[in-house]
Amino acid sequence: MKNTFLRVFLVVLLSNIVVVSIGLGMVQFIQKRNQVSADLLGDVGVQLVAGYEKFGITSLQEETKKAEKRLSGTIYLYQENGRPLLKSLPRNFREQNTPSVTSRPAADFLHSQFIQVIGGNNVQYLLIFKPNPEIDSLAPGAVVGFSLLGLLVSSGVLAYWLLGPLLKLQRVARSFGQGDMTARVENKLVRRNDAVGKLAREFNEMAVRIETLLSSKERLMRDVSHELRTPLARIEVALTIAEDKYGMESQKGYLCRIRTELHELDELIGQVLTLSRLEAASLIKEEMNLQEWLGEIVDDVSFESQLKGISVSKSGRVPKTILGDPLQLRHAIENVLRNACFYAGGGGVIEVETQEKSGFAFIYVRDNGPGVSDDKLEKIFHAFYRSSEARGANSGGFGVGLTISQRIIRAHKGQITARNREEGGLEVCFQLPLA
């Protein structure tokens, strides 16, 4: 959006420059048209010289005042030897022009007019007429400076006026995309009758449809969950009764297997529900002491795995604090840690290390298990993806745990990646922004 603002600003600025250039050209054209004609100025010069040669300097001064008032300008009259008959040219007038090698006054070629007058006995005079001197009282540099300042301010205001509504739409779209289903464009924009107003109305209509769709999907998942879990609970009760009253030893094995499958089915339903509810807006973020929080998770998983002889250790003392939802992040870390313990097997070694780099907290979970083939490193984060080896080995998972972890980390604007270690085993890396 910044690039768009810069482009619009430059286009508006260029348009203003073109308009102002045309205006200045018109002003100069009009100024040239307003100059005194050479014939009129020649007649005035002849009359002044004739009056001077006949009646002297006093008559010349009086007639000059009348002519200056009539022509709206200042008249300077010099003899051919460079001696001024009237007032001399001002010092700044001379300094502003190119120095002359002669003693004659230099010319103001931009504004003044020069007329050569032949008097009696072929004596030559130089008449200089400078029209409307008040116009030039303002320094040209100041005029240019104020003009440029006006152009910049007007271009900036116009560009912001054009892009302001789009910036508001962008903020609303970003909030909606980040999971705030209640984000809507304000009524002030919706009521506009131009293209921006139409876009705002269509966005609000789209947001309502998507919110309705997601709400119905979530309601459907809750209803399905309820309808599935209710018969599961009844079946489990029936299994318990059958084991206690009528179950023979040869049947108890089958009943136990049925109970296990029921528990897995119940767990799958719970994971699917968790996956459908994971949105950024549902997170309750707070500042967390990362080391203390992670230490508790490692202790819990280590306690659960001690019977299998699995060692879970933690290293690293930075970073200290992150901003996140402690409960959801715990689900993400525990999923990966329990996967690591499962695939490392009895006597496995699990390492958890924390680091801080470029404003992010890194949490590495490493195991010494068989790892994952390189072409499946990305697929393990897909929902319900399980490799053929995992299916054959009856790993007990459904390929949803890592997807849940990925959703949680992305909702925290972080990343989760996996790679095979050179010394064997899998390394899963969590990258989370610092508080």
For 122-167, write each residue's pLDDT tens digit: 888 888 888 765 545 455 666 667 777 777 777 777 777 778 888 8
Q: List the single range of 119-133, 170-184, 307-321 with lowest mean pLDDT.
A: 119-133
* Structure confidence at residue 98 (pLDDT): 46
Q: Is the pLDDT of residue 106 over 50?
A: no
Contact of 281 with 178, CB cutoff 8 Å: yes
Contact of 253 with 240, CB cutoff 8 Å: no
Distance between CA atoms of residues 355 and 345, nearest Å: 27
Who wins on pLDDT, 255 or 340?
340
Q: Is the pLDDT of residue 288 over 70?
A: yes
Phi and psi at 285, nearest 5°, equal -85, 145
- Residue 168, CA distances (Å) to 184, 189, 198 in order: 10, 9, 14
Q: Is the pLDDT of residue 405 over 70?
A: yes
Percent of residues, the chain, with pLDDT higher than 90 = 19
The domain 184-281 is placed in CATH, from the list 1.10.3720.10, 1.10.287.130, 3.30.1490.150, 3.90.550.10, at 1.10.287.130
Q: What is the mean pLDDT of the chain?
A: 80
Who wins on pLDDT, 16 or 395?
16
Of 371, 369, 372, 361, which is closest to residue 429 (Cα–Cα)?
361
* Structure confidence at residue 373 (pLDDT): 85
Q: Is 347 left (phi over 0), alpha (psi -120 to 50) or beta?
A: left
**Span 301-310, average pLDDT:** 89
| N residues, the chain | 435
Please write down the long-range contacts of 369-372, taking CB distance under 8 Å and 24 or more positions apart: 369/340, 369/343, 369/344, 369/345, 369/425, 369/426, 370/343, 370/424, 370/425, 371/420, 371/421, 371/424, 371/425, 371/426, 372/418, 372/420, 372/426
Q: Is the pLDDT of residue 350 over 90?
A: yes
* Structure confidence at residue 101 (pLDDT): 42
Who wins on pLDDT, 173 or 38?
173
**Span 357-382, average pLDDT:** 88
* pLDDT tens digits, one per residue of 15-37: 777 777 777 776 666 666 556 77
Q: At what angle do helices 57-71 and 38-55 cross, to 10 degrees?
A: 160
What's the pTM value of the predicted model, to 2 decimals?
A: 0.51
Contact of 130 with 111, CB cutoff 8 Å: yes
283-433: CATH architecture = 2-Layer Sandwich (3.30)
* Structure confidence at residue 360 (pLDDT): 93
Who wins on pLDDT, 114 or 15?
114
The tokens of 286 are what? 């707070």
Contact of 367 with 305, CB cutoff 8 Å: no
Q: At what angle do helices 195-241 and 140-177 cross, to 10 degrees?
A: 20
Q: List the single range of 161-170, 279-288, 335-344 with lowest mean pLDDT.
A: 279-288
Percent of residues, the chain, with pLDDT higher than 70 = 83
Q: Is the pLDDT of residue 348 over 70?
A: yes
Of 12, 8, 286, 290, which is closest to residue 165 (Cα–Cα)?
8
Its sign, for the CA torsion 92, 97, 99, 105, is negative
Q: List the single range of 33-37, 286-290, 300-304 with lowest mean pLDDT.
A: 33-37
**Span 394-413, average pLDDT:** 77
Which parts of 96-194 fold into alpha helices (H)? 140-177, 187-190
Give the 3-state DSSP-derived string for 267-314, with helices as H, strands as E and coil as C. HHHHHHHHHHHCCHHHCCCEEEEHHHHHHHHHHHHHHHHHHHCCEEEE
Question: Which residue ranges make up each domain of the chain?
Answer: 38-88+109-135, 184-281, 283-433
Of 403, 387, 395, 406, which is closest to residue 272 (Cα–Cα)?
403
Who wins on pLDDT, 213 or 221?
213
Burial of 99 (0-12, 13-18, 19+ CB in 10 A): exposed
Output the DSSP codes for 200-218: HHHHHHHHHHHHHHHHHHH
* Structure confidence at residue 180 (pLDDT): 81
Q: List the single range of 227-241, 263-277, 381-395 with lowest mean pLDDT.
A: 381-395
